[in-house]
Amino acid sequence: PISGKTPTEERRRLVRLFRDGELDGLVSCNVIQEGFDAPIAMGAFMARPTKSGLLYRPQSGRVMRPMPAPQGDRPYQSECLAAMEEHLHAGVNLQLAVLPTGTGKTWIAAHTPDVIRRWKAGKPRGRILFATHRQELVEQTADTFRFWQPGLTVGIEKAEYSAGDADVVVASVATIGSDASQRLARFNPDRFDACIIDEAHHAVRGQQYWNILRHMRCLKGDPIDAEKLLFLITATPARSDNAGMENICDKI
10 Å CB burial of residue 122 (0-12, 13-18, 19+) is exposed
Of 68, 51, 59, nearest to 29 (Cα)? Answer: 59
Average pLDDT of the residues in 157-185: 88
Question: 114: pLDDT confidence band, cut at 50, 70 and 90?
Answer: very high
Task: Measure the CA–CA gap between 59 and 175, rounded to whole angstroms.
Answer: 23
- Calculate what percentage of the chain has a pLDDT beyond 90: 43
Question: 22: pLDDT confidence band, cut at 50, 70 and 90?
Answer: very high
Q: What pLDDT score does 190 carry?
A: 93
Question: 87: pLDDT confidence band, cut at 50, 70 and 90?
Answer: very high
Q: What is the pTM of this model?
A: 0.76
Mean pLDDT comparison of 64-73, 177-186, 221-230, highest-scoring range? 221-230
Task: Measure the CA–CA gap between 122 and 133, rounded to whole angstroms.
Answer: 33
Question: 15: pLDDT confidence band, cut at 50, 70 and 90?
Answer: confident
- Whether 202 has a pLDDT exceeding 60, the answer reads yes
What sections of 90-160 are H helices per DSSP? 105-110, 112-119, 136-148
SS3 156: strand
Of 62, 11, 60, 55, nearest to 40 (Cα)? Answer: 62
- Whether 155 has a pLDDT exceeding 80, the answer reads yes
Per the model's pLDDT, the better-predicted residue between 215 and 158 turns out to be 215
Find residue 131's DSSP bridge partners.
171, 197
Question: 71: pLDDT confidence band, cut at 50, 70 and 90?
Answer: low
Secondary structure element (H or E) that encloses residue 219, with its range: none
Mean pLDDT comparison of 34-43, 60-69, 128-137, 162-171, highest-scoring range? 162-171
For helices 112-119 and 75-89, give the axis angle rounded to 10 degrees: 30
Secondary structure element (H or E) that encloses residue 65, with its range: none
